[in-house]
Amino acid sequence: MLEHLTVVRHPLVQHKLTLMREKDTSTNSFRRLLREISQLLAYEITREMEMTTKWIETPLCRMEAPVIDGKKLALISILRAGNGLLDGVLELIPAARVGFVGLYRDEKTLQ
């Protein structure tokens, strides 16, 4: 399973995560930083995403251009922690579908 794990060590992510962790960070700042981090993570996540093309009209000519088909993309949030990441990613990919997975931990066994 760890072969599918990507650790993002980008300086901006590290810096914003540090700001989020500070005890004096306001709720508003925490939310803003979380949205910004989610957008930086989305950049990494979509790096190798398959693209398609569509024809567009530019001011100079008609051309075939690369696009992500957001209608085929689904963002799945693992409740509740994952919900904070959704807004930032949806700002970048507004056509993505959204789903939720709910899990709970047994308080006695912690599993």
Return the pLDDT at 71: 64
pLDDT in tens, 78-109: 887 788 899 999 999 888 889 999 887 788 88
- What stretches in the chain show pLDDT beneath 70? 1, 70-71
Return the pLDDT at 70: 60
**Predicted TM-score of the model (pTM):** 0.77
| Domains of the chain and any CATH numbers | 2-101 (3.40.50.2020)
Return the pLDDT at 24: 97
Which 3 state secondary structure label does DSSP give 66?
A: strand
Q: What is the CA radius of gyration of the chain?
A: 18
